[in-house]
Chains A and B, each alone.
Chain A
Amino acid sequence: MKPAPFEHHAPLTVEQAVSVLTEVGHDGKVLAGGQSLIPILNMRLASPAHLVDINRVAGLDTVEVTPEAVRVGALVRHAGLERSAEAYAALPLLRQALVNVAHPAIRNRGTTVGSIAHADAAGEMPAILALTDGVVEVAGPSGSREVAWSDFFLGALETSLAAEELAVAVRFGRFPAGTGTAFTEAARRHGDYAMAGVGVALTVADGVVSGARASFVSVTDVPSVLDLGPALDGVEPGSGEWDAALDTVAEAVRGHVEPEGDIHASADYRRMLVTELTRRVLPQAADRAGAIA
């Protein structure tokens, strides 16, 4: 239960970090909050020869709100983003999801960008990056590049980040006016990895749904977005038609997810669970969009 020996690097700038990562290649791993990485090291599921500790890199700890996005630097802790009033005003979905990330003591240390770079299918924030049509900002030896969420996640715990690259920030896209969002998940114990989770964004114009999407936790290999527009567009939330539309949504969710069974929950149970959770969060999102009086 102790990590294997490694060499510790403490770069002070993004350039230094990238230069060390380039030097050590696949033997290197970035350490930010470490709340996923250090358990893996402690259990010796991984033993990288080099850890590039970015905690002293300047300029990575800011949250910026622009008209299009909420930009979160690589050293912003989950708790910092959760408490940011500006981020909450611009994109309430962030806080709605973040309070489900483990426990406060973990959120005080773990970083949002780190959990996205870790790309665990049971992680909340990768699903939120997808739902908001977000972008990862990457620094590498030949300059910087931006990667859309759909090109970022390749598989469980696998991203398109090269060994010599550092994710310096992510941008969560903001929704159009009239959009309500909601997030929920079910876990065996409070703060555990979710058996299933779902986030939704629902836009209402002139009293009827004009767009809706969902993304999922723990029931898909990589984050993916399900367009609920075909089921919900033109429907007035809370009307008689709404209940029938939710049945159509449930069918679509059942077909979209690909859960795997394990000791905690069978695949069938997870599929049933995420369908039910989606039914529950859509009225909340509609309510927040101002559609249900």
Chain B
Amino acid sequence: MTDTTPATETLHDVTVSVNGVRHSAAVPARRLLSDFLRHDLELTGTHVGCEHGVCGACTVLVDGQPMRSCLMFAVTAQDHAITTVEGLCSAPDARTAPTGESMNPVQQAFAECHGLQCGFCTPGFLTTVTAYLEENPSPTSEEAREAISGNLCRCTGYQNIVKSVLRAAEIKAERAEERA
């Protein structure tokens, strides 16, 4: 991306903690957080759909809260802690696809319940639902629908996503019990 930046544009040194690792890059002020993650940091797990806040595919956690990364500038994210879909699993390298036990409860539930087909919208659902279950660990089916109402999916018809949210809550509780 930087090679297409006009030479006249001022660059800002932006340092952001992403998935617990500090990253820095020099970017123009207009660099969206979504593009900063994908192009500058090469963390392409965050997907970009509509780029105006409607589809939810680019949702990341900013200081633990789900926000649209396409509706934030990288310069504004300076010194904040970002969690992307790569940071949800416990795999040693965040860029490795999660497998087995390294998946977080939401990822495991989406795999079990067929909560995705093409997978384009999935990173936004996973981050949104992960944060939601921190707030409400045992949602009803109705609450699960409300929780995912800000994310669009063109494949599944949502039924399996709702099941995945409910299953994720179960898995989370089971894992907490095992650890206890």
Contact = CB atoms under 8 A, between A and B. Distances in A.
Tell me, yes or no, whether A binds B.
yes
Interface of A: 1-8, 10, 31, 34-35, 38-39, 41-43, 51, 53, 55, 79, 102-106, 108-109, 190-191
Nearest to B124: A105
Contact of B30 (A4, A103, A106, A191): A4
A108 B52 contact: no
Nearest to B66: A105
A139 to B, nearest CB: 21
Contacts of A108: 62, 65-67
B56 A105 contact: yes
B137 interface: no
Contacts of B28: 5
B149 interface: yes
Contacts of A51: 29
B38 to A, nearest CB: 13
B138 to A, nearest CB: 18
Which secondary structure dominates chain B's binding surface? Answer: mixed
A53 B29 CA distance: 11
Given A106-B53, A109-B67, A191-B149, A8 B75 contact: yes
B71 A35 contact: yes
B93 interface: no
A190 B149 contact: yes
B30 A39 contact: no
Interface stretch (B4-12, B81-89, B96-104, B114-122): B4-12
Contacts of A191: 149-150
Most chain B beta-carbon contacts within 10 A, residue among A43, A102, A106: A106
Interface in B43-88: 51-53, 56, 59, 62, 65-68, 70-73, 75-76
